[in-house]
Chain A
Amino acid sequence: AQSVTQLDSHVSVSEGTPVLLRCNYSSSYSPSLFWYVQHPNKGLQLLLKYTSAATLVKGINGFEAEFKKSETSFHLTKPSAHMSDAAEYFCVVSPSGGYNKLIFGAGTRLAVHP
């Protein structure tokens, strides 16, 4: 069965320090992997996606993620957190590699302190 595990439900960082949000996936096929961000009262926004091209994927707002097949991981990183990064982040897998059937992780709430 396909699944996504976000290892931390809450992450708290200071402004200007690095961000690491961890994600492990399980998929029988070559998956597509995504990171979405959810700000209060706004729709989910796509940060970045991996679709079997380069394993290091760069997204919007300075975020990037690295696909590691051997570790079945797709961790999200950012070198320097900004206050506006505070939000809920979802790691998402599309098991068949397409874009229709999305399986969401439980989410990680990122808090950024001054």
Chain B
Amino acid sequence: GAVVSQHPSRVICKSGTSVKIECRSLDFQATTMFWYRQFPKKSLMLMATSNEGSKATYEQGVEKDKFLINHASLTLSTLTVTSAHPEDSSFYICSATGQGWNEQFFGPGTRLTVL
């Protein structure tokens, strides 16, 4: 199957700082990438969908100015958590799919802890 990586796997930051998480498709061109958030012992919640070269589409209730998503190339999407606060601490997971594909391939996730 297709491989998706995320970097970093874990990050700890101070409240008020910004954190960037990278999502890469290693062996395919990802025309669409998705960002999810997973709370402890809860399911994954879709935050936004991004198509390469276009602005991301955010789900209801997700602040686009706080969670900046960039999908500038067919192999890389970034999620920047701006002015992070402790309530932003969570597990962030990306997934990617190719043109006409019928499956999303998931990255291993990034654990963000905001102190």
Contact = CB atoms under 8 A, between A and B. Distances in A.
Interface of A: 4, 9, 36, 41-46, 49, 51, 90, 99-107
A44 B106 contact: yes
A43 B96 CA distance: 12
A103 B101 CA distance: 18
Interface residues of B, number: 25
Contacts of A9: 41
Contacts of A49: 103
A43 B43 contact: no
Contact of A105 (B9, B32, B43): B43
A14 B42 CA distance: 25
A43 B105 contact: yes
Given A42-B108, A43-B107, A43-B108, A101 B46 contact: yes
B103 A46 contact: yes
A90 B103 contact: no
14 contacts: A43-B107, A44-B106, A99-B97, A99-B102, A99-B104, A100-B32, A100-B34, A101-B46, A102-B104, A104-B36, A104-B43, A104-B44, A105-B43, A106-B42
Contacts, number: 51
B16 to A, nearest CB: 29
B108 A41 contact: yes
B93 interface: yes
B43 A107 contact: yes
A4 to B, nearest CB: 8
Interface string B72-115: 00000000000000000000010101000111111111000000
